[in-house]
Amino acid sequence: MAGLAVNVDHIATLRQVRGGAAAYPDPVHAAVLAELGGADGIVVHLREDRRHIQDRDLFLLKKTVLSKLILEMAATDEMLAVAADTRPDLVTLVPEKRTELTTEGGLDVISTADATQQAIDVLHRAEIPVSLFIDADTRQIKTAAEIGADMVEIHTGAFCEAAALADKKRLFSSIVDAARLARELDLGVNAGHGLCYNTIGWFAGTQTIDEFSIGHSIVARAAMVGMEKAVREMRQLIKEL
């Protein structure tokens, strides 16, 4: 059975929309609840601009996560130092642009091979396994293996966003082909970005993915399935005034 790593960035996004004045919702609390729900790992992306996850969150998650802590980050000197200090169970290297809403594409490990390999070496010296977030492209997968990655995370965003069924089928096949190749090259295989309660079913029977990394759809669903209870609780408090 494939694993599920839950990304709690958007719990922090909800907290940060109040400009740092609110202490809730806390991604550390959300991580505990995600683990109670069966998460096999907790994922956070510490971005350069700290737009959602803060250093304090990472520090506390390292102390509290019981499953495994996966840190997504850009391969910058600052983040490599944070990773070496924190020692998460896995680092996933991602490309990062200040202006993007979310990670837009996979890491181009071919054009950044030297720098990416150096980052992998630094993380390995700190005994942290490394995954590379890449598009479903055979050349990217082969390069990931050549430069010493332990795993790849295949970008599922384009597949999830495709509207036409023919495009969806083509993009899904390329994910499965890329995952098979990665396995042949002894890489672990994760997949993520944009996966939701509808798209996950496509992976039935493929048995090529070790773990799915899912955030936005789960946080969005949590708001919906929790709304009725949350309103009832406030209604009760008002009744008792």
User: Interface with ligand PXP by CB under 6 A: which residues?
Assistant: 7, 9, 45, 72, 92, 94, 102-103, 133, 153, 192-195, 213-217
Query: What's the distance, CA 143 to chain centroid?
Result: 21
Question: Among residues 45, 52, 96, 153, which one is catalytic?
Answer: 45
CA-CA-CA-CA torsion for 72, 73, 79, 85, nearest 10 degrees? 10
> Minimum CB separation from ligand PXP for residue 237, in Å?
32
Q: Tell me how far CA of residue 115 lies from CA of 68, 80, 89, in angstroms.
A: 27, 12, 22
**Is there a contact between 126 and 83 (Cβ–Cβ < 8 Å)?**
yes
Residue 52 falls in the annotated catalytic set: no
CA distance 42 to 215: 10
> Minimum CB separation from ligand PXP for residue 215, in Å?
3
The H helix count followed by the E strand count for the chain is: 9, 8
Instruction: Select 214 or 222, whichever has its Cβ closest to ligand PXP.
Output: 214
Q: Cβ contacts of residue 124 below 8 Å, gap of 6+?
A: 130, 148
> Minimum CB separation from ligand PXP for residue 236, in Å?
33
> Minimum CB separation from ligand PXP for residue 58, in Å?
14
Question: Among residues 10, 52, 155, 193, which one is catalytic?
Answer: 193
Instruction: Select 80 or 219, whichever has its Cβ closest to ligand PXP.
Output: 219
Instruction: Select 180 or 216, whichever has its Cβ closest to ligand PXP.
Output: 216
Residue 45 falls in the annotated catalytic set: yes
Question: Among residues 72, 96, 153, 211, which one is catalytic?
Answer: 72
Active-site positions read 45, 72, 193
